[in-house]
Amino acid sequence: MELNSYLEQLEEQIRNRKAKAEVIEEIRNHIEDQAEFYEKEGMSAEEAIEQAVRQMGDPVEVGIEMDRIHRPKPGAPLFLLAFMMSVAGLLTQYFSFYRFGEELVVYQRVIDNAFARQCVYVLMGTAVMLVILCVDYSPVGRHGKKMGALLLAGLFIICLSAPGYLGSHSYLKSLIYLFVPVYGGILYQNRNRGYYGIASSLFWLAAAFWIAAARIGGGLGITIVMACVCYIMMTAAVIKGWFNENRKAGIVLTAGIIPVSAVIAVLAQLQPYQIKRIEVLFHPERYAQGAGYQAARTREVIEGLTMFGTGGVKPEQLPIHMLPGVQDDYILLQVASVYGIIAACLLVGLLAVFLFCLFRMIYKQKNRLGKIVGYGCLMVIVAEIAGNLMINFGFYTISTGGLPFFSYGGHHTVTIFVLSPPPVTIYVLLGVIFSIHRYQNLAWEREDGKNKQEKGVLAHLGKYRIRIERCR
């Protein structure tokens, strides 16, 4: 069979337009390479091509196999899983607050129709997640630096032109989390560039940290989480040998010198109230009547919890009512107060199962880009949940934060201030993770036992391996 005719028949079987051209080109190269080998053995050019084509197998069967490999995985189960978590969060809020006729008060201001607003926020986040789920994530591996520049420049311009709130632009703070998946693409672009790649990656991390800390402000905890997650991602890339540098020197640099320098730089810029928060974190008993008041009151509430709660007692009649931001920061403690410790444990268990499903999904990825971006997004979500659990367990943290899916408003869905944009950050990160799962076969890579990077084998066709790497 003539080469072009073979490839045309094969191409007709592949429905994924993004992968079609590259698969065909890769197969063409394999056929031509094999034909060149036959020519060296004495065949004519025409005979060599025919023999190479014949060895590739039936074009329809090969094309069907390529179509099966590159078909996007169904996203409906993942979407439904996240949607069910959102519904569980809404039900938790309703039965913990709004069925008693509770009003939401923020800074001595009553929020009208709070539960209806939360339903709208959840629908907005779900819609954003669905859109991102259906979009191929792999371009972030080619355009990570461009995306990072647009994100940071946009935040910088907004901070310069828009009015702040109490000296900061804290309503933008959660948007810096969007830098995490972008940073995965930046690391991917910098691979194989030695110490220059490490320096470039550090520059982008420093730029994001400066924008978050010096320009946005009002979100030290979020800034630290973002920086730590990105730093862990870079360290993992160094350990995996992405940059082709001296492995030991790179590990010493990223695991020793850089974090020490970063901690010193952060401590040097801390404000007095932020320093006090750190002191309260380690010594809450010293500030029980001041900065550590909430932590002290939280522990008092914990001591009075029962296994099955108070049932129909209204929230304002419970000790937890004295804590500000119950619907946001202390939703878990509220559930424990009204319905008991067992109900709160079930809620935590539900979140743990959800996180395990996400981890398992990312762990199975064969692509380096997908893994590092997926783990980065997952670490942000884990950090948000862990921070909120610490608050509910009576440990004072340097920043407050809601419980994803279950808290009202906050940066995990949409900020509660009227002038704030709706970042729906957690839903965006979930959408990225689900996109990685859905399009994982568009960029499949594998590492051998010697930690050398190899383009992923997409299929075994006879004695030949068809390879493709979409993110270059």
Q: What are the pLDDT digits (tens) for 274-311? A: 666 666 666 666 655 555 667 777 777 777 777 877 66
Res. 110: pLDDT tops 70? no
Q: In the predicted model, what is the mean pLDDT of residues 444-467?
A: 40
**Are 249 and 305 a contacting pair, CB within 8 Å?**
no
Q: For the whole model, what pTM was predicted?
A: 0.76
**Are 53 and 1 a contacting pair, CB within 8 Å?**
yes
Confidence of residue 193 (pLDDT cuts 50, 70, 90): confident
Confidence of residue 168 (pLDDT cuts 50, 70, 90): low
Confidence of residue 138 (pLDDT cuts 50, 70, 90): confident
Confidence of residue 165 (pLDDT cuts 50, 70, 90): low
Summarised one tens digit per residue, pLDDT across range 213-244 is: 877 876 677 888 898 899 899 888 888 888 87
Neighbour-count burial for 78-95, b at 16+ CB within 10 Å, e otherwise: bbeebbebbebbbebbee
One-letter amino acid for residue 61 of the chain: E
Res. 154: pLDDT tops 80? yes
Listed ranges 151-165, 321-335, 336-350; the one with the highest mean pLDDT: 336-350
381 CB contacts (<8 Å, ≥6 apart)? 355, 358, 404, 426, 429, 430
Output 172 or 219, whichever has higher pLDDT: 172
Tokens of residue 94, six digits: 């309703």
Res. 349: pLDDT tops 90? yes
